Amino acid sequence: MEIPVQDDEETVLPQSFTGDTRPTLLIVEDDRRVGEYLFRMISTLGYRIDIAESFESALSKAHKNPPDNAIVDERIPGGHGTSLIRPFRDLNTNMRIFLCTAYPSIAHTVEAMRLGATDYLSKPITPEQLSAAFAPNAAPSASEDELTPTTKERRMFSLARARWEYINMVLNNCDGNVASAARHLGIHRQSLQRMLKKVPPVD
């Protein structure tokens, strides 16, 4: 996927074409709006970014230029994001892999981390989440071996609570209009309605 750039912006090229030493990131996301949002936000943090819109494209791009980091949507054409974790990890054992989903569960989180994921990014992804994960001074996430089941559960509930509060902030800014809030969040109105029916997570 090619991202349109303005004349005063740097064109993103594959690593083999440049002497660029910035950390690399592969975004695996089939929703073009979300992909462009992630590209714009993270590129300001000093990363060189490529985007894949399907399972096969992600594997192909990773094999050609194994990235330092990856953001992988769980639901992508041709497969599941969790099925990319081990192939990515085999290509670069130090790769940080962030799995994205709008419906995280503790069981799924533990399984993803067992496979080698670094952490979750809970949709809708906020600028604060991206900054915490990708800012130059961001602390590396604990490895799977360093995480106790209790720590994993707390992390998952913390992410769920942050997502809940962000959704309701957007809804409030839209004067309670669900359709308008869904457009701002980049999700379907029915998905937002299902989220709002759930009991708020408690830390």
Distance between CA atoms of residues 141 and 152, nearest Å? 12
Which CATH number does the domain housing residue 51 bear?
A: 3.40.50.2300
Same domain, 104 and 192: no
- Is 175 found in the same domain as 136? no
What does the alpha-carbon distance between residue 44 and residue 30 come to, in Å, rounded to a whole number?
22
Q: Summarize pLDDT for 165-197 with one digit per residue, the tens.
A: 677 777 888 888 989 888 877 778 888 888 887
Considering the domain architecture, whether residues 175 and 81 belong to the same structural domain is answered as no
Of the given ranges (14-23, 43-52, 125-134), which has the lowest mean pLDDT?
14-23
DSSP designation for 103: S
The token pair that represents 147 in the structure block: 């995480």
Query: pLDDT tens digit string along 56-111?
Result: 999 999 999 999 999 999 989 999 999 999 999 999 999 999 999 877 666 677 78
**Given 101, 132, 147, which residue is the final one in a domain?**
147
Q: What's the Rg (C-alpha) of the chain?
A: 17
**Same domain flag for 138 and 161:** no
- Give the predicted TM-score (pTM) of the model: 0.60
Which residues, in sequence order, are bridge partners of residue 51? 27
> So what's the pLDDT on residue 152?
46
Q: How far apart are CA 51 and CA 42, in angstroms?
A: 12
Q: Tally the domains of the chain.
A: 2
Residues 182 and 93 in one domain: no
Same domain, 122 and 38: yes
